């Protein structure tokens, strides 16, 4: 038990990595192998969810847990750290991954080889990005999740997937090159890439050299903004997400949040309000870009011709809303953004799966927004669509409404408050309009000359996986108060740079894992 406590921060990375290796050795071709691959992958992902819950329980007390790989001290060795935000992102990733894997096991995983191994490598990259303590290893985990996503993107093949997949790979390679250039500039002037060490060194960099760090900060914003789908760097996303298979698109709902997470860690903390000459380098542009992202994306959603593409645009809308909260640069707004991010990720993932359920029952029309045969399960799918639409648009008492209300309250004293209120409320209304239009076409505009029930009803496995994501969103509303307190405490913990540096840079000879004094800020 003591061993488990000591090594717990590295297990979210090791578990999917070892599982993926085992799945590659077993293979998925031949009698019974795919069944065993499904069982192993599901068991590993469920264990990852339990591990994320255990880490969240430790983080909820304010404990900052660090892990020194090879027992090399920071900032020279590789450091992993789990704080409140990191634990929250691990849990969110697991809560999306388990239902999505359950859904994929209904048949999508058989459309190509090594789906489950690739899925686990994707989880390895996601989890690693959420627990890493330095920028170079953030780059490494970015590449791990991106390499897995390249193959998952075209899994099952198809001309359209290959076409958008090429664009996806090329653009991400360019972003990775910019990432390395930004890291080189940071290292040249700060002499470290450890995030805790950077938070101490960056404020001390004198003004002439700080200009180079500002360039690096802007380059990193381009990289992270591309990963997060910040306008104008997000035009690749709708086509990519709409073309890939539904379970992969649903998993990708969490991938954009890696970019958001990196922006918080780097631009909110390292180049935050205590960054010296580089303080708040991106503040003048982040908020307007975030608001523009939401506005342009919701217009794209209104113009979408398929349900999958509409949901892909809503992914960008949600990113813009979250980054608007981050762009306010304050713990209150960050806490609201974290709460909203949890719900939007769950709902978007559910909508991708729901889009495929609806399309499978509409014959040749599939997911195109035009009149077609009546679906086999109009009541069930219609209620699921209504719940998801209401939460995505921010209608009370669902968590989308609670999250937006928190964001509006946090923006109350900001100079841009009238514009922020207008954009967030207007985008919510247009989101509701777009989803209502889609729902009316899919469920009400039925062609009587075509037989109902084309394609059969969704299997219990597929429906159950989709419903579980929607149920998690509803539970977020039921437990809104404690979740909101946790998110607020996570935001306040981020700005306590002294505690972060003490946890990472403290010398405690020989101990693989170290814990600082509990953080004394707001306690959920």
Identify the band that residue 74 occupies on the pLDDT scale cut at 50, 70 and 90. confident
**Main-chain dihedrals φ then ψ at residue 516, nearest 5 degrees:** -85, 180
The phi and psi torsions of 278 (rounded to 5 degrees) equal -105, 10
What is the tens place of the pLDDT at every residue in 106-117? 888 888 889 999
Alpha helices in 158-228 (DSSP H): 159-190, 195-201, 207-228
| Percent of the chain's residues with pLDDT above 70 | 94
Cβ atoms of 279 and 148 closer than 8 Å: no
Mean pLDDT score, 489-518: 68
The pLDDT confidence band at residue 1, using thresholds 50, 70 and 90, is: low
Total domain count for the chain? Answer: 1
Q: Return the pLDDT at 453.
A: 54
What is the rounded distance in angstroms from the CA atom of residue 214 to the CA atom of residue 182?
A: 10
> 362: domain range?
284-478
Alpha-carbon span 394 to 387, nearest angstrom: 11
How many other CB atoms are found less than 10 A from the CB of residue 449? 6
| Placement of tokens 């359950």 in the chain | 102
The Cα–Cα gap between 400 and 390 comes to 8
Quick: pLDDT tens for 320-357.
Answer: 999 999 999 989 999 999 999 999 999 999 999 999 99
Question: Strand 65-68 relative to strand 513-515: parallel, antiparallel, unpaired?
Answer: antiparallel
Q: Is the residue at 39 inside a domain?
A: no
Q: pLDDT tens digits, residue range 377-407? A: 889 999 999 999 999 998 989 999 999 999 9
Cα separation, 264 vs 76, whole angstroms: 23
123 within domain boundaries? no
Average pLDDT, the chain: 88
Phi-psi region of 456 (alpha: psi -120 to 50; beta: other; left: phi over 0): left
Q: Is 296 part of a structural domain of the chain?
A: yes
Give residue 451's pLDDT. 59
Please provide the distance, in angstroms rounded to a whole number, between the alpha carbons at the two ends of the chain. 26
User: Cα(314)–Cα(298) distance, rounded to whole angstroms?
Assistant: 7
Residue 411 CB neighbours (<10 A): 25
Give the global pTM: 0.92
pLDDT of residue 458: 67
Structure-token match 């990472």, residue found: 504
- A 10 A CB-CB count for 482 gives 10
- pLDDT at residue 73, as a whole number: 77
pLDDT at 136 over 50: yes
The whole-angstrom distance between residue 339's C-alpha and the CA centroid of its chain comes to 13
Q: Is the pLDDT of residue 521 over 50?
A: no
Among 340, 381, 379, residue whose Cα is nearest residue 358: 381
| Domain annotation covers residue 360 | yes
273 in a structural domain: no
Which of 177-181, 274-278, 454-458, 472-476 shows the lowest mean pLDDT across its residues?
A: 454-458
Task: Give the C-alpha separation, 478 to 323, whole Å.
Answer: 25
* In a domain? residue 411: yes
Q: Measured between alpha carbons, how far is residue 296 from residues 11, 292, 432 in Å?
A: 40, 6, 15
Query: Do 83 and 9 meet the contact criterion of CB atoms below 8 Å apart?
Result: no
What is the distance between the alpha carbons of residues 210 and 184, in angstroms, rounded to a whole number? 14
Residue 509 has pLDDT above 90, yes or no: no
Q: Residue 522 pLDDT > 50, yes or no?
A: no
């Amino acid at each position: 038990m003591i061993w488990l406590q000591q090594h717990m921060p590295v297990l979210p990375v090791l578990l999917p990595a070892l599982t993926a290796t085992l799945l590659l050795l077993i293979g998925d071709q031949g009698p019974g192998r795919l069944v065993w691959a499904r069982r192993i992958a599901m068991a590993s992902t469920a264990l990852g969810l339990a591990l994320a819950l255990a880490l969240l329980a430790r983080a909820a007390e304010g404990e900052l847990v660090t892990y020194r790989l090879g027992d090399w001290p920071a900032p020279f060795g590789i450091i992993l750290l789990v704080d409140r935000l990191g634990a929250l992102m691990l849990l969110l990733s697991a809560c999306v991954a388990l239902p999505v894997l359950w859904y994929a096991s209904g048949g999508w995983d058989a459309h190509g080889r090594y789906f489950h191994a690739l899925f686990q490598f994707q989880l390895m990259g996601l989890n690693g990005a959420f627990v890493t303590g330095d920028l170079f290893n953030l780059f490494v985990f970015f590449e791990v999740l991106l390499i897995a996503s390249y193959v998952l993107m075209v899994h099952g093949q198809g001309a359209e997937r290959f076409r958008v997949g090429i664009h996806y790979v090329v653009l991400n390679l360019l972003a990775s090159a910019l990432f390395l250039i930004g890291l080189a500039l940071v290292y040249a002037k700060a002499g470290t890439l450890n995030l805790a060490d950077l938070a101490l060194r960056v404020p001390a960099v004198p003004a002439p050299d700080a200009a180079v760090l500002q360039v690096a900060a802007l380059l990193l914003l381009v990289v992270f903004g591309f990963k997060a789908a910040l306008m104008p760097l997000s035009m690749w996303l709708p086509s990519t997400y709409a073309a890939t298979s539904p379970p992969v698109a649903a998993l990708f709902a969490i991938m954009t949040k890696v970019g958001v997470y990196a922006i918080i860690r780097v631009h909110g903390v390292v180049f935050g309000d205590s960054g010296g000459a580089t303080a708040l380098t991106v503040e003048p542009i982040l908020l307007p870009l975030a608001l523009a992202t939401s506005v342009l994306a919701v217009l794209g959603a209104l113009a979408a011709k398929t349900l999958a593409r509409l949901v892909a645009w809503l992914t960008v809308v949600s990113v813009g809303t979250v980054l608007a909260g981050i762009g306010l640069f304050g713990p209150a707004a960050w806490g609201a953004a974290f709460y909203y991010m949890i719900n939007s990720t769950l709902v978007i993932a559910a909508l991708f799966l729901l889009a495929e359920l609806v399309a499978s029952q509409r014959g040749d029309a599939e997911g195109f927004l035009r009149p077609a045969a009546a679906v086999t399960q109009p009541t069930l799918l219609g209620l699921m669509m209504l719940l998801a639409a209401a939460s995505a648009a921010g209608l009370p008492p669902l968590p989308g409404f609670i999250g937006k209300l928190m964001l509006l309250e946090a923006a109350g004293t900001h100079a841009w408050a009238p514009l922020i209120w207008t954009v967030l409320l207007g985008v919510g209304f247009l989101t509701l309009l777009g989803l209502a239009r889609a729902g009316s076409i899919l469920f009400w505009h039925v062609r009587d000359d075509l037989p109902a029930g084309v394609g059969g009803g969704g299997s219990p496995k597929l429906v159950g996986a989709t419903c579980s994501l929607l149920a998690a969103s509803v539970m977020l509303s039921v437990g809104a108060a404690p979740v909101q307190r946790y998110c607020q405490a996570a935001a306040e913990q981020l700005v306590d740079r002294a505690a972060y540096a003490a946890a990472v840079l403290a010398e405690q000879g020989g101990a693989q894992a170290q814990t600082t004094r509990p953080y004394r800020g707001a306690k959920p």
